[in-house]
Chains A and B, each alone.
Chain A
Amino acid sequence: MDALASYTGLEFAKWVLAPGKWTASRVSSFWDRYVYFVGLREENDSLRATLAEAAQELALLRERAAEAERLARLLTIRPPVGWSRQGARVISHRLGPNASLETVLLDKGALDGLMVNTPVTGPDGVIGRVLRLSPTAATVLLVTDPNSRIPVTSQKNRTQGILKGEGANREMAVQYVSLGAPLEEGELLVTSGLEEIFPKGLPVARVTEVGRKGPSLFQTVYAEPLFDARRLEEVALLAKDPEGRDGAGPVPGEAMAEPQDQKPGADPVTHTPSPRVIPPDPSGRAPGLEPPRPAAAPAGERRKPARSGP
């Protein structure tokens, strides 16, 4: 009887209990996994949020590092003797239907000591000059505008010419270069200072092509600017020091001095070079800037302007 009870009652009880135990075990396991996954999900969400914050912070820090690098390059500009410098940010490029010239808008204006024709430079060379002013903003005419003309001298051979813009993303033309005048491709063009706006010796462009076309009495010369207008973010403004002191020290944010020989009534776009002749710089080195780097945009991207002899 005892054996029978074992073989029946015990077996029955086992078959009753076992599925329950199996179910309980499964449910328990499922619950544990569910709780675990919920925890995992929460942890995952938390980690994702942390990662997003870190990525945002990283992007911000990278932006600041890039800005610091740009500003550091800007601070390498050593103003020529008798000139002071202050920095400014580019807040916009051409703005509105009447913005016909190649211009940028700066966050500094008349209250910061700027005047019409104040020279504007970047780490690599001349960018342009102030065209219009408001109390806290200024419009800068870029040297690449077709209405900009700057008397320049080649740094090595001291050949003179007039650098004329041909528009955005186009190479500039160097006009009135005599047929016999020596000029090499790759040679740097610096301001001659004859127009009495820019200090003498600031790099402006690099010669890309020297040739002769037709019966013209002048060479056909093209040059690329030393900056990319689309990437301009910070610039330096130069002003003549009224006391004539050495302007080598950086003066960020300091109000600029009023240029002594500024002609308020002068046309800010076109100007005639003064007949005063300045002898070439014997050192052959630009006094204001460090050796310029190549322009940010590859030369291949720039279009050649329409060929027309000067």
Chain B
Amino acid sequence: MNIPAILFWSLFTVAGIWLQGAIPGVDFLAPGLVLCLQEEKWTVSAWLGLAWLFIQEGTGSLAFGTGLLWYGALVGLYYFGHWLFEAKNFLFMFILGLSLGVLHLVLSHVMAVLQDWTLPADRVLVEGLLQALIFPVEWGLIYLIYNHLPENSHAV
């Protein structure tokens, strides 16, 4: 990974954390993981995924493993959808966003039940909707920015 890419992913991570503070319950780093899987080597995706996993687990209040299931399911959904759709198709990203929205509901509910906790269903539902809406939009935005990096000028 060269300097512009390192800078891009660092800024993306910082911006993602700030946005997560602004809109709680939404993962702003997930679109980055998908873009990374599409554009970078798998080792880069693995390292970034690991770093973001620890960020999500550390800042969250659910038991450890939720983030692992969350990103694991995202990667699984991506590779599964990869067989059916063009990887950089916006429709695929839209479906992936919807899947993440549903996954947020299911995962939050399951983890809350396992930990004998109560979560406000209306709030989790709104968070799932926001996740489904934000994911494809953010992916499209960072896809454009990433492909305008100096090393990717051929892709513009």
Contacts and interface: CB of A to CB of B under 8 A. Distances in A.
Chains A and B come from one and the same complex: yes
Interface in B52-71: 55-62, 66-67, 70
B27 A96 contact: yes
Contact of B20 (A96, A100, A131): A96
Interface stretch (B31-39, B88-96, B115-123, B137-145): B115-123
A168 B123 CA distance: 10
B116 A96 contact: no
Interface string A73-94: 0000000000000000000111
B25 A99 contact: yes
Nearest to A131: B61
B61 A97 contact: no
Contact of A97 (B115, B116, B117, B131): B131
A260 interface: no
B108 A270 contact: no
Contacts of B61: 98-101, 103, 131-132, 139, 141
B21 interface: yes
Contacts of B111: 100
A224 to B, nearest CB: 18
B106 interface: no
B124 A97 contact: no
A239 B21 CA distance: 28
A272 interface: no
A98 B117 contact: no
Most A-side CB within 10 Å, residue of B108, B112, B118: B118
Given A147-B118, A270-B116, A97 B21 contact: no
A211 B108 CA distance: 34
A269 B117 CA distance: 9
Contacts of A146: 117-120
Chain B interface bracket (under 10, 10 to 19, 20 to 34, 35 or more): 20 to 34
A95 interface: yes
Most B-side CB within 10 Å, residue of A97, A103, A147, A270: A97
Nearest to A132: B61
B112 A99 contact: no
B150 interface: no
Interface string A283-304: 0000000000000000000000
Contacts of B117: 100-101, 146-147, 269
Nearest to B63: A98
A98 B27 CA distance: 9
Contacts of A97: 20, 25-27, 56, 60, 70, 104, 127, 131
A118 to B, nearest CB: 16
A277 B20 CA distance: 44
A29 B124 CA distance: 73
Nearest to B26: A97
A177 B24 CA distance: 35
A32 B124 CA distance: 70
A168 B25 CA distance: 14
A146 B112 CA distance: 12
Most B-side CB within 10 Å, residue of A94, A105, A131, A146: A94
Nearest to A268: B61
A134 interface: yes
Given A97-B131, A146-B119, 19 more contacts: A92-B21, A93-B21, A94-B25, A95-B24, A97-B127, A98-B66, A98-B67, A99-B25, A99-B61, A100-B25, A100-B62, A100-B108, A100-B124, A103-B61, A139-B59, A139-B61, A147-B117, A167-B120, A269-B117
Interface of B: 17, 20-21, 24-27, 55-62, 66-67, 70, 104, 108, 111-112, 115-120, 123-124, 127, 131
Interface of A: 92-101, 103, 105, 131-132, 134, 139, 141, 146-147, 167-168, 269-270
